[in-house]
């Protein structure tokens, strides 16, 4: 399905009937990865999942966005669909957007339950090696951005950028790279205590992108949060062990199996 939000074409799914549950995907991902849990959830709920701007079948945002811009987008998107009450599930970056809701004094919808799967939100501490790498990259970027250097070596800056950063960063367009930098550098731990709805944290024990220690911090600071750690799973725990993940999700959402 397709809808226009602020002149952006947004691809989304809306399947099933009942109370709404909104699925927000991770960075560099899209709604196709939610197929298994969508099939489960739509037996009892109306499942709504957008490709967020810059991902999947949706247009890129008009400028480099921060997390608040994505919050504004979700609010407008759900407003267009007339959603006034919903549960929310977010993987990685999608979880970050959900947590950020609770920095707002009011929302136009009620949040009944939250599922955070390998969610982002804790700014990782950089190792000495990472700090040196970042400083080296920034110094190189400054030099290669000089007018005379760009004329002499027109491809040097692009080559440096293509070799630097994470796989997600390298795969992103220039605009989405700017967006990614703004998004990942925001720490949300000060909001955790405001996340008051019943919250299920599902994590892969081998997650290196958002380690289990992040889930432990969320569980400690969120008033009504509980944690389930899946064995032998990484950052995509809902794919690595689809069977167990869906059983845990079904229990939390009161779906008979």
Residue 252 φ/ψ, nearest 5 degrees:
-65, -35
Conformation bin of residue 120: beta by default, left when phi > 0, alpha when psi is -120 to 50: beta
What residues form DSSP beta bridges with 24? 90
What is the mean pLDDT of the segment spanning 82-97? Answer: 98
pLDDT digits (tens, 9 = 90+) for 21-77: 999 999 999 999 999 999 999 999 999 999 999 999 999 999 999 999 999 999 999
pLDDT digits (tens, 9 = 90+) for 119-140: 999 987 755 554 455 455 455 5
Helix axis angle for 128-144 and 156-163, nearest 10°, is 160
Strand arrangement of the beta sheet that strand 46-50 belongs to? 2-5, 8-15, 46-50, 20-24, 85-91, 110-117, 199-204, 225-230
Q: How far apart are CA 21 and CA 213, in angstroms?
A: 27
Q: Long-range contacts for 248-253 (Cβ within 8 Å, ≥24 apart)? A: 248/200, 248/202, 249/37, 249/40, 249/41, 249/89, 249/115, 249/200, 249/202, 250/40, 252/113, 252/115, 252/200, 253/21, 253/41, 253/44, 253/45, 253/87, 253/113, 253/115
Helix axis angle for 67-81 and 174-184, nearest 10°, is 100
Residue 204 φ/ψ, nearest 5 degrees:
-85, 130
Residue 147 pLDDT more than 80?
A: no
Q: Which domains does the chain have, with CATH numbers?
A: 2-123+186-252 (3.40.50.1820), 128-180 (no CATH)
Instruction: Specify the pLDDT at position 184.
Output: 87
Instruction: Specify the pLDDT at position 131.
Output: 45
Do 183 and 27 contact (CB within 8 A), yes or no? yes
């Amino acid at each position: 399905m397709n809808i226009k939000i602020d002149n952006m074409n947004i691809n989304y799914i809306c399947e099933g009937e009942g109370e709404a549950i909104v699925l927000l995907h991770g960075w560099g991902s899209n709604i196709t990865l939610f197929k298994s849990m969508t099939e489960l959830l739509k037996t009892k709920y109306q499942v709504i999942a957008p490709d967020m701007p810059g991902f999947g079948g949706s247009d890129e945002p008009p400028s480099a966005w921060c997390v608040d811009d994505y919050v504004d987008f979700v609010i407008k998107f759900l407003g267009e669909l007339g959603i006034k009450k919903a549960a929310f599930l977010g993987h990685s970056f999608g979880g970050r957007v959900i947590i950020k809701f609770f920095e707002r004094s009011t929302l136009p919808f009620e949040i009944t339950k939250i599922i955070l799967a390998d969610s982002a939100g804790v700014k990782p501490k950089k190792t000495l090696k990472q700090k040196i790498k970042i400083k080296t990259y920034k110094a190189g970027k400054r030099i290669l951005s000089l007018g005379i250097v760009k004329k002499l070596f027109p491809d040097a800056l692009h080559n440096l950028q293509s070799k630097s950063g994470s796989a997600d960063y390298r795969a992103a367009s220039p605009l989405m790279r700017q967006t990614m930098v703004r998004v990942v550098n925001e720490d949300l731990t000060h909001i955790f205590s405001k996340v008051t709805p019943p919250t299920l944290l599902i994590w892969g024990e081998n997650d290196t992108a958002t380690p289990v220690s992040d889930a432990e911090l969320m569980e400690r600071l969120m008033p009504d949060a509980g944690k389930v750690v899946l064995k032998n799973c990484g950052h995509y725990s809902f794919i690595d062990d689809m069977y167990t993940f869906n059983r845990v999700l079904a229990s939390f959402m009161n779906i008979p199996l």
